[in-house]
Amino acid sequence: MEQPSQRQPRRVARRIWWRPIAVLAAAGTLVAACGSTSSSSSAVRASGSSNVLSGAPKATAAEQSAILKQIYWGGPVPPGLSKYVVNGMDRLAATKWTSAKEALAEHCFTAGSCTVGSGKDTLGILSAVPPDGWVDMVEMSTILEALTYPQIGKIIIDTNNADISTTTSQIHAMISQGVTGIVSFDVFGTAAKATYQAATSAGIPVVLYQDIMGPSGKGVVASQVAVSYCQLGQALAQGAAKALGSKGGNVALYTGVAGNAQAYGFGGTSPLERGWLSCAKQWFAQHQPNIHAVDTSLTDWTEGGNVSATSALISSGKKVNAILYDDATFTTVISTYQNAHLPVPALIGWGQENDDVQAWIGANKSFPMDFSSYYGAVDAPVAVSVLMDKIGGQSVPNEVNFPVVEYPVAANLYNSALAPHTRVPTIPGMPSAVVNWVFRH
């Protein structure tokens, strides 16, 4: 009999959750993601074990090219994408989503525990909180990716409520329920090391995505899927330099909470251990010394925190020409400047939400707004793909990297049919009916 889920109840919350990028090494064999799509696809399938990739959905060259471009917001796809990125997104792009498959995904999302077929593997999904449109979309993407694997017969889902004791009990519950592997949005960094080690010691591989442990996760988890924190800082700095030009100016740096790994790193000095703040400052010093970081503010990654940080910045009398932020939402930053009857500085962030683009258009595009072209939520389905390779007997890298590039926002990214706080574009490869269903629920 299927055991009842112990999943925490969902609650509606406005998300400004951190953009969990990570300290990552090169991910094994690399393939060109653009310009030779057909050969890349063949190389990926040839490298996989027959156990994992037999019967896998096969995207056409055009489908694969389109989905990789969407990951990079329509801009050029950087060369050297990990084969795991290509394979994970390939499956979503190629799957023919029938109404029955879509209904099954929606059932799993709601129930927290579901039987999806006759496969022998049970997938554990540990999601982040607070659940809302973005977090829910990420969770649904893991479910959909799981449904492309006939080896998976059951899915168990839970949310960690950003509480480490809850996470520990949930991981142990998944172990006792016999999961074959776990994918987890780890919001605790190295603090959850012992928890994940318990699963690994029990022979259950764990793959982290979005927020991760960095180098210290080696040997504790099977793999970690995200993007280099240091590279993010460099990309944000490049976006600011482009917006401000040769004259330079002053910038403010926004992050969530004190000591978070994505901003402050893991305590080391190598690019794989540093946070984005120090790497952005170093980039300015080396490439654009006329740009000076004059303020660093903590926002808790919330709308209220954005207002408080921006109000304090304005009250301080510091004039800044740009704000760099390791999150996506700028609407309350924009409105705070507008309410103070001050010009909005250039805004450089990691991704944009639908209402950000709308606010920019509403302000007559009067200020530059750049975003990183890497769409963070695709970490989740790729993590499922890496996990299934591991379960299938393949050797997987401890870290899988997404390159990051900075591009200006474009008016055509605004979609009036999507909810205001939707990341734009939505996760590539997800069927539109399921996307709409998630936002209705």
CATH architecture of 30-227+376-403: 3-Layer(aba) Sandwich (3.40)
Q: Which two tokens stand for residue 221?
A: 């988890």
Q: How far is CA 64 from the centre of its chain?
A: 20
Q: What are the residue ranges of CATH 3.40.50.2300 in the chain?
A: 30-227+376-403, 229-372
| Nearest alpha carbon to residue 322 among 362, 280, 351, 264 | 280
Instruction: Please give the pLDDT value at position 34.
Output: 29
Across the range 172-199, mean pLDDT stands at 91
Is the pLDDT confidence value at 386 over 70? yes
Instruction: Please give the pLDDT value at position 70.
Output: 65
User: What element of type H or E holds 361?
Assistant: helix 354-362
Instruction: Please give the pLDDT value at position 417.
Output: 67
Give 51-95 pLDDT, tens digit per residue. Answer: 333 345 666 777 667 766 666 655 566 666 667 777 777 788 788
Counting other chains too, the contacts that 302-306 makes at CB distance below 8 Å and 24 or more residues apart are 302/14, 302/16, 303/14, 303/16, 303/329, 303/331, 303/332, 305/16, 305/256, 306/16, 306/254, 306/330, 306/332, 306/333, 306/336
Instruction: Please give the pLDDT value at position 214.
Output: 78
Across the range 397-405, mean pLDDT stands at 78
Instruction: Please give the pLDDT value at position 329.
Output: 80
Q: Which two tokens stand for residue 405?
A: 């590039």
Give the side-chain half-sphere CA count within 13 A for 305: 18
Average pLDDT, the chain: 78
253-267, 292-306, 369-383: the lowest-pLDDT one: 369-383
Instruction: Please give the pLDDT value at position 33.
Output: 27
Instruction: Please give the pLDDT value at position 16.
Output: 33
Instruction: Please give the pLDDT value at position 377.
Output: 60
Distances in whole angstroms, Cα of residue 117 to Cα of each of 320, 327, 392: 56, 38, 18
Residue 259: pLDDT band (50, 70, 90) is confident
Instruction: Please give the pLDDT value at position 24.
Output: 19
DSSP 145-173: HHTT-TTEEEEEEEE-TT-HHHHHHHHHH
Instruction: Please give the pLDDT value at position 316.
Output: 97
* Contact of 43 with 285, CB cutoff 8 Å: no
54-63, 158-167, 213-222: the lowest-pLDDT one: 54-63
89-93, 228-232, 350-354, 382-386: the lowest-pLDDT one: 350-354
The answer to pTM > 0.95 is: no
Rounded distance, CA 327 to CA 232, Å? 11
* Contact of 18 with 211, CB cutoff 8 Å: yes
- Strongest mean pLDDT among 5-14, 260-269, 386-395, 400-409: 386-395
Across the range 157-186, mean pLDDT stands at 91
Q: Which CATH number fits domain 229-372: 3.40.190.10, 3.90.1170.40, 3.40.50.450, 3.40.50.2300?
A: 3.40.50.2300
- Give the type of residue at 342: L
Tell which wins on pLDDT, 361 or 352. 361
Instruction: Please give the pLDDT value at position 76.
Output: 61
| Nearest alpha carbon to residue 104 among 143, 56, 135 | 143
